[in-house]
Structure 1
Amino acid sequence: MTFISTTGASQDATPGLPPRFEEALLSLRDAPRPRRLILDEVPAPKRLAPYAAALTAETTDNEAGTPIASGRLVVLHDPDGQDAWDGDFRIVVMARARLDQEIGADPLLGTAAWSWLTEALDEAGAGYHALVGTVTSVMSETFGGLELTDSCTHAEIRASWTPTTPDLGPHLAAWYALIHVAAGHEPLSATPLSLATNQ
């Protein structure tokens, strides 16, 4: 199994990848990850940068067949750099979690959810700058006929930042931690991604 897919170059054409992008992919491949996350390699956006890689993750814990939390991580690389990034890499993440209605109604939810991300980055030792993002809270109601059968609140965190080095392992670990914290769990003991996929 390949853990990271790239646009702009075939996976069989690794020698053609920019050295810094290849270094970044290798750091992702060997990064540890918490257990109880299901990972999937997905197509990366093709218009945002010459080279890109993407992963999705969801918790094995679910409610009514739906994961409690899920997310997406995209790594963008432009060897020439982009002014808006202030660098040649950019990381874009999303994390979405189902919350109790009481928590979802808390006016401080946005501030708290944003702190999940910043604390995860800091605790992982991920060097970054130019961090921007949003936190959105949405209440969903499900009706069966004319009767309300279910209601829930989802919080969604979207953010992007520029890493200070091509070593993206700490950034990946921070994203994993964000998903677990959003799901109401502490990050669990980690295993290398290359080993976990073989378990």
Structure 2
Amino acid sequence: MPERFRTALLSLREVARPRGLILEEVPAPSRLAPYAAALTAETVQTEAGTPLASGRFVVLHDPATQRAWDGDFRLVVMVRARVDEAIGADPLLSAAAWSWLTDALEHAGAGRHALVGTVTRVLSDTFGGLELTDASAQVEIRSSWTPATPDLGPHLQAWYELIHLAAGHEPESAVPLGLAGATR
């Protein structure tokens, strides 16, 4: 394992665990880069047994660099949340959800470039034998960017905040209990 990748992974361990999220290390995609790591998270708070929001955080590293990344690291994130049906139908939801991401990155001081992504809104109605299930709406934010340094801690903190925002919580919910009164 390259020292630069090891340093990046250790920077993730230094980030305090957020309140209200269940984290799990999962297998990372193996075809995108020679070195990769991944985490998933979901809110402790559920609705009808389903987490309010969930997501995935993937670190990719290619010591040879990849031209499309404009660097040797790439972060890939996804956050999915169930939203109120009226909110899901709002044409401004996509722009608002994208601003949750960019605001979280700014708030955490996560230096980056080559930020790209999509916001998908899904409205679902049920029919037939599923009519007992309510109509539902979801928003999904998928994004990737190149971090400015191998210190990935601020990026992970931004992802935690994004999950909380997508779940309808205040950004402060992403701050660990021990840091709730501290300033950054």
Shift of 1:30: 1.2
- Identify the residue that residue 56 of structure 1 maps to in structure 2: 40
In percent, how many aligned pairs have the same letter? 73
Shift of 1:59: 0.1
Where do 5+ consecutive residues of structure 1 fail to align? 1-16, 193-199
What per-residue deviation string (whole Å, max 9, x for no partner) do you get for residues 18-45 of structure 1? 1110000000011123211000110000
TM-score, reference length from structure 2: 0.92
Call closer, same or farther: CA 1:164–1:146 in 2, change over 3 Å.
Answer: closer
- Aligned-residue CA RMSD in angstroms? 1.4
- Identify the residue that residue 151 of structure 1 maps to in structure 2: 135
Letter in 1 for 2:63: P
- Identify the residue that residue 96 of structure 1 maps to in structure 2: 80
Call closer, same or farther: CA 1:71–1:146 in 2, change over 3 Å.
Answer: closer
TM-score, reference length from structure 1: 0.85
Classify the secondary structure of the residue corresponding to 2:79: strand
What per-residue deviation string (whole Å, max 9, x for no partner) do you get for residues 121-161 of structure 1? 00000000000000000012234627353111000000000
Where do 5+ consecutive residues of structure 2 fail to align? 179-184
**1:53 & 1:174 partners in 2: Cα distance?**
17
Classify the secondary structure of the residue corresponding to 2:134: strand
Q: Is the 8 A contact 2:27 2:37 kept in 1?
A: yes
Alignment coverage as a number of residue pairs = 176
Letter in 2 for 1:126: A
- Identify the residue that residue 136 of structure 1 maps to in structure 2: 120
**2:130 & 2:47 partners in 1: Cα distance?**
23
Classify the secondary structure of the residue corresponding to 1:130: strand
1:190 to 151, 176, 182: 176
